[in-house]
Amino acid sequence: MPAPPTIDPAEVAFTAIRAQGAGGQNVNKVSNAVHLRFAVRASSLPDAVKARLLALHDTRLTQEGVIVIKAQGSRSLEQNKAEALARLQALVDAAAVVPKARRATRPTRASRERRLQGKSQRADIKRLRTGPRGLD
């Protein structure tokens, strides 16, 4: 199996933003969180990988085909950049895997009989729940 394509760092744009949540004065003063922006259509990835990335139903993918990843787990800007790049690479690695083609199969005769037997057992149980007829 070929190695998945790697992300060219020149195709990634980083924006430093202020992190959310607790952290005291540091949160209010320092922009340590990172927004990573990666334009899928303009990238140098193979066309098949691009198509699978654009077909993802992911909230990180905009309608323009840009992947936006926010990383704010660390107090270090460099660590947050590395974390965002790792998450983007994981997304590309997952899209690089060619999905296995599904093949239609038919249920076996025994499985059909088991299914029908289970249905008739449930019907019997439900039939026993009704009260006696004709006493109205």
Check which CATH number belongs to the domain holding 85 and give it: 3.30.160.20
State residue 29's pLDDT score.
Answer: 75
Is 101 inside a domain boundary? Answer: no
Is 121 inside a domain boundary? Answer: no
Count of the separate structural domains present in the chain: 1
State residue 87's pLDDT score.
Answer: 95
Tens-place pLDDT, residues 27-48: 677 788 999 999 999 999 999 9
Is 17 inside a domain boundary? Answer: yes
Instruction: Give pTM, 2 decimals.
Output: 0.71
Range of the domain at 29: 9-96
User: Percent of the chain having pLDDT more than 70?
Assistant: 94
Is 116 inside a domain boundary? Answer: no
Of the candidates 98, 64, 80, 61, the one whose C-alpha atom is nearest the C-alpha of residue 20 is: 80
Of the candidates 101, 97, 88, the one whose C-alpha atom is nearest the C-alpha of residue 48 is: 97
Of the candidates 74, 64, 90, the one whose C-alpha atom is nearest the C-alpha of residue 16 is: 74
State residue 135's pLDDT score.
Answer: 65
Is 60 inside a domain boundary? Answer: yes
Is 115 inside a domain boundary? Answer: no
Q: Which residues contact 54 (CB under 8 A, 6 or more apart)?
A: 40, 41, 61, 65
State residue 6's pLDDT score.
Answer: 87
Is 29 inside a domain boundary? Answer: yes
Cα end-to-end span (Å), the chain = 73
Least confident of 2-6, 50-54, 103-107, 126-130: 2-6
Neighbours of 52 (CB within 10 A): 19
